[in-house]
Amino acid sequence: KDLFESPPTEKAVNELKAEEKRLLAELEVVLGKEAPPVQSVQPGYNQHLSLETRTQLNALGYRMQEERAALKLKLETSKATTAERAEQETALAKRHQAERRALFSDEEWAEDQVRRSPQVGKVRELRGFSATPEGLRSLALAMRDFDAAHPAPTPRDPKRPNDDEDYRSKMEMREAQRKAMLTERLGEAGYAAFARGSDPRFRTLLVLSRRLDLSPAAAVQWLELQTAAQTQAQQARQNPDLTDEARVVALLAIRVETERALQAAVGARGWGAYQRHAGDWLKQLGR
By the 8 A CB rule, do 13 and 280 touch?
no
Summarize pLDDT for 115-129 with one digit per residue, the tens.
889 999 899 889 888
Of 239, 204, 195, residue with least CA distance to 222: 204
Query: With 0-12 CB in 10 A as exposed, 13-18 as middle and 19+ as buried, what is 194?
Result: buried
Tens of pLDDT, residues 5-36: 344 455 555 665 665 566 556 555 555 554 44
pLDDT tens track, the chain, 287 positions: 332 334 445 555 566 566 556 655 655 555 555 444 333 334 346 778 888 999 999 999 999 999 999 999 999 888 888 999 999 999 999 999 999 999 999 999 998 888 889 999 899 889 888 888 899 999 999 999 999 999 999 998 888 888 889 999 999 999 999 999 999 999 999 999 999 999 999 999 998 998 888 999 999 999 999 999 999 999 999 999 999 999 999 999 999 999 999 999 999 888 988 988 888 898 888 77
What pTM was computed for the model?
0.67
What is the tally of helices (H) and strands (E) in the chain? 12, 0
pLDDT tens readout for residues 258-267: 999 999 999 9
Whether 123 and 140 have beta carbons less than 8 Å apart is answered as yes
